[in-house]
């Protein structure tokens, strides 16, 4: 393949990654924004989404779309419910103390991950996509007769991958509508702005925290259900999304929805593109160092409010 078609392919792959990353990171960002809790177990809720999707979809016979839709509806609920339990029995008990919640969620990370290993096992298993047509993409070049279109070998995508991108955009829009146009969103934003005043106005802050923590986990699980027909479900799959979400949330500005989405696009696309041309490990090294240095040199500049 020439450079042009190769780049287009890389951009398409990057867009799928960015779409899923935006949803995952949004969950992390929401939880940090409203609750000021750094949820280290966030990647495990992503993994839960994929693993639960497999448990739901694999026993359902018939068209793969039935199982997939069931997983899309139920897996985020399961992950969200587990997150609510974590909030009630761990985070609330330590009164949302920043350091204690980090240590506590590290513990939760291992509990969820290892429980998945015991119940689901160490294998990687796929979920069948609801539809999967190969779509060949055209490329153009200047020939003797002007602009010529042709189909380069290997330049293709699948209808499912395009669906992932569209679905992620839809979910992001829905999220934006919930946050800015509904009463629930208003309550969440009020709690984020000023916990004490919200409490004084009769907002049940504790319940809002539970909902937000469950909602954040459900977003990660939803992203995982979308990606699981492309990547397989595995009990260690939460590690990379966690790391990338951290990167996105820090670069984008903690708690800021717009910043998170923009940064997810930036990081997801460049991760996809760099991985095609360079080694994926090298691109991850550069991204992690970049984040560390951003935090060191421009902590306020990029996320507005001070973290500590």
Partner 1 sequence: MTVDTRSVLLHLGLIALLIVLGLVLPTYHQGNLARILVLATYAIGFNVLFGYTGLLSLGHAMFFAAGMYGCGLAMHLGGWPVLSALGAGIIAAAVLSLIVALLALRTIGVAFMIVTLMFAQAFFLTALYLGEWTGGDEGFVIAQASRQIAGFALTDPLTRFFAALAVFSVALLITARMMHLPFGRVLIGVRENEERTRMLGYDTFRHKLLAVIISGTISGGAGAAYAVLFGYVGATFASVQYSIFPLLWVLLGGMGTTIGPLIGVAFMFYLIDYASGLTNAYLLIVGAALVLLTLFARAGIVGEIRKRWVPWLP
- Tell me how many degrees the CA angle 10-286-110 measures, rounded to the nearest 5: 95
How far, in Å, CA of 105 to CA of 108, rounded? 5
Q: Which stretch binds partner 1 (CB under 8 A): 67-75, 92-100, 183-191, 257-265?
A: 92-100
Q: Is residue 5 involved in binding partner 1 (CB under 8 A)?
A: no
Task: Give the shortest CB-239-to-partner 1 separation in angstroms.
Answer: 8
Name the H helices within 36-97. 42-57, 64-86
Task: Give the shortest CB-205-to-partner 1 separation in angstroms.
Answer: 21
Please check whether residue 237 is in contact with residue 83, taking contact to mean a CB–CB distance below 8 angstroms. no
**The total number of residues written for the chain in this structure:** 308
How far, in Å, CA of 93 to CA of 16, rounded? 38
User: Closest CB to partner 1 among 113 and 157?
Assistant: 113
The tokens describing 111, both together, are 């509990």
Number of residues that bind partner 1 (CB under 8 A): 43
Map the footprint of partner 1 across residues 119-158, applying CB under 8 A: 122
Map the footprint of partner 1 across residues 255-294, applying CB under 8 A: 279, 281-282, 284-285, 288-289, 291-293
What is the per-residue binding string for partner 1 in 10-49, x denoting contact by CB under 8 A?
A: ----------------------------x-----------
Between the alpha carbon of residue 128 and those of residues 65, 133, 157, 224, 235, the distances in Å are: 8, 13, 17, 14, 18
How far, in Å, CA of 49 to CA of 20, rounded? 12
User: Closest CB to partner 1 among 115 and 156?
Assistant: 115
Binding site for partner 1 (CB under 8 A): 38, 90, 93-94, 98-100, 102-104, 106-115, 117-118, 122, 239, 243, 246, 250, 279, 281-282, 284-285, 288-289, 291-293, 295-297, 299, 307-308
């Amino acid at each position: 393949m020439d450079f042009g078609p190769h780049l287009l392919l890389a951009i398409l792959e990057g867009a799928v990654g960015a779409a899923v990353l935006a949803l995952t990171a949004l969950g992390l960002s929401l939880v940090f924004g409203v609750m000021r809790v750094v949820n280290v177990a966030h990647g495990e809720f992503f993994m839960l989404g994929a693993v639960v999707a497999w448990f739901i979809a694999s026993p359902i016979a018939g068209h793969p779309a039935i199982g997939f839709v069931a997983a899309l509806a139920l897996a985020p609920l399961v992950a969200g419910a587990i997150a609510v339990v974590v909030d009630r029995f761990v985070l609330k008990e330590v009164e949302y103390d920043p350091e204690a919640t980090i240590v506590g969620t590290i513990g939760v990370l291992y509990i969820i991950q290892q429980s998945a290993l015991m119940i689901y096992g160490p294998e990687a298993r796929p979920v069948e996509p609801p539809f999967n047509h190969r779509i060949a993409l055209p490329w153009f070049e200047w020939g003797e007769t002007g602009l010529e279109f042709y189909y380069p070998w290997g330049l293709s995508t699948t209808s499912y991958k395009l669906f992932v991108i569209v679905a992620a955009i839809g979910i992001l829009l829905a999220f934006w509508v919930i946050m800015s146009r509904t009463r629930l969103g208003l309550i969440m934003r009020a709690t984020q702005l000023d916990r004490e005043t919200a409490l004084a106005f009769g907002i049940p802050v504790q319940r809002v925290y539970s909902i937000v923590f469950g909602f954040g986990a459900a977003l990660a699980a939803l992203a995982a259900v979308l990606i699981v027909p492309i990547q397989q479900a595995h009990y260690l799959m939460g590690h990379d999304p966690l790391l990338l979400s951290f990167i996105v949330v820090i670069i984008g500005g903690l708690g800021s929805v717009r910043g998170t989405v923009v940064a997810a696009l930036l990081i997801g696309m460049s991760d996809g593109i760099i991985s095609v041309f360079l080694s994926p490990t090298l691109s991850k090294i550069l991204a992690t160092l970049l984040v560390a240095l951003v935090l060191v040199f421009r902590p306020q500049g990029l996320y507005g409010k001070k973290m500590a």
